[in-house]
Structure 1
Amino acid sequence: MNTQQLDQLKKMRNEITRFMLKYKFALEEMETKIEILKEEFQSLHDYCPIEHTNTRLKTPESIMKKLIRKGGTIAIDSIEEYVKDIAGLRITCSFISDIYRVSEILQKQSDLKILQVKDYIKNPKSNGYKSLHLLIEVPVFLSDRVENVCVEIQIRTIAMDFWASLEHKIFYKYNRSVPQHLLEEIKEAADTANALDQQMERLMQEVQSIKDLQHEDTERELRSITINNQKFNLPEALLEILGKE
């Protein structure tokens, strides 16, 4: 290999490295955002909607396979046009309502640009798959420029994540040729997971209602005093003064 060929190889290597690094950095930016949210909820609120997170960066080989499958040309610009899920972040929540809460928080962050929202919870896939997908652009500040990098975020419950993980393993075990009777059982399992999510959501709402009633009882108790077995409500004027202090 002559000097010119070595220089071309080095240039190609640097371009691929820079390309992959920006997706890695975008994932790290998102991980930091999620960690900030988790710490805020854990420190200031009595409940954190985020259970855990996972990140995934496609390999160059996997990227090329998807690009060819989608009919793109072998070029960096073509990859960015056809392959939008090079960087992936999965957020697992306890309850369905948490999914939409986390999604709303992320969509309100001014430095993130929302490119696409796919709600597979309200509109599940035919096999039973459920999840909320956000395709976003994350600004990555490099030494010589700012790159806006696509990251796919999947937000799902623990039950949805469990089902999706096992469904994926079954498909690859059968090399995507799954017998019909297993497909039907996989769909039934998805319905079971959904029923569990719905039941847990109802239980959570019931517990929250009980907590709200207890809070109201405590507040009423604090607004009164008892002397000689007689209860007296504190004057509103006094409560207003105490509230200003």
Structure 2
Amino acid sequence: MPRSAVVIGASGGIGGALLAAIEDEGGFEAVHGFARSWQGDRHLDLTDEASIAAAAAHVATGPAPELVVVATGLLHEAGRGPEKALKELDAEWLARTYAVNAIGPALVAKHFLPLLPRAGTPVFAALSARVGSIADNRLGGWHGYRASKAALNMLVRNAAIEAKRANDRSIVVALHPGTVDTALSRPFQGNVAPGALFDAERAALQLLDVIEDLKPVDSGKLFAWDGTEIPF
């Protein structure tokens, strides 16, 4: 049967590399890329549910998507960045962080999960982060980013449970891409260990390898770029 794939956040470093890699590998009749900065049928703003619904409606006119990847994230913007201490917390910035890192992907799941086929093993994956793991948190800080990614992980777990009611072989996961040389990580690359900074093309291929190896039992979990499970 004809198949399609979807990449949301396709104008970003990882998202663009994922879109290119999926197109290069073939196997899909259609590959849809969406981004906030794009116009027309390819526009999708995570903070605008109407645009998410419109994108889903556009995809629904073609083959059912067997792969949906939400390749988005917000760590810093317009001079604001991750907080090092509680005294730096700001309600407006926290709300913005949650809107992009947790609420937006949840709304994507709301509109795109119903499009997944009810047979086979379709995959819905959202980029999360190791620092969003509560169990793995040893350093503290980065309050808004950590907490919003932890919220995303919970929403992924909930979505995985609900998706199985429609197709018990569906897979809904969160993925940690590692530290990737993109605009998101660039201000914070000084402490990255040698060999631990990936270019976007390598990161995309690593993530697709992880996705390819997923099984239905893996649904609702968080996996790193090397396929290891990260505890929530």
Q: TM-score, normalization: structure 2? A: 0.24
Higher helix share goes to which structure?
A: 1
Structure with bigger RCO (C-alpha 8 Å, 6+ apart): 2
TM-score by length of 1: 0.23
